[in-house]
Amino acid sequence: MARNGLSSQTLVLMVISIAINMIGGQLVSMLKLPIFLDSIGTLLSAILAGPIIGMLTGLLTNLIWGLLTGPIAAAFAPVAMVIGLVAGLLASIGWFRTLPKVILSGVVITLAVTIVAVPIRTYLFAGVTGSGADFFVAYVHSMGSNLIESVAMTVLGINLIDKVLVAIIVWLLVRNMSQRTLRNFPAMAVVR
């Protein structure tokens, strides 16, 4: 396995990260909160193991979730992949070392997510996905914005809160991990 770039520690990290994503997302979905919290594991794997592992974790999370709950989660797999890619790239250049950079990383991830999520949410689902964000799409649309503008403003606003919060949570988790655990993930040198 290690010859192919996937160590047993990386595979365990991915499985745990997928579970974290699904638990966070399901809790938020059940409570109909206007955030997502379904990318904590994706950021965790991206920061610890790099952008490719982050992308793969995001992809697998959404495909598994789509099989278990319906096609909406699977349709957003490209969004989850972008989250993993951008978080991993930002971590590799040291953007997860200090709190201000972590917050800025959440903003950059949000901008990337918005570019990918708006067309999916608009054209596949007419702005309605069953999440707590639907209320905001409807409200902005009722105030005179067209559907694309309504979805874009909602996606940008909600993801800004969500991705900054997720980035801070993951940064705190990683900073409090033991050195023994972190030794298994050489990419961590750019975070600490």
pLDDT digits over 48-66, tens only? Answer: 999 999 999 999 999 999 9
**128 band by pLDDT with thresholds 50, 70 and 90:** very high
**80 band by pLDDT with thresholds 50, 70 and 90:** very high
The token duo for 15 is 């499985």
How many other C-beta atoms are found inside a 10 Å radius of the C-beta of residue 114?
Answer: 21
More confident residue, 153 or 131: 153
Q: Are 32 and 9 in contact, with CB atoms under 8 Å apart?
A: no
Q: Are 66 and 75 in contact, with CB atoms under 8 Å apart?
A: yes
Q: Are 87 and 42 in contact, with CB atoms under 8 Å apart?
A: yes
H or E element, residue 131? none
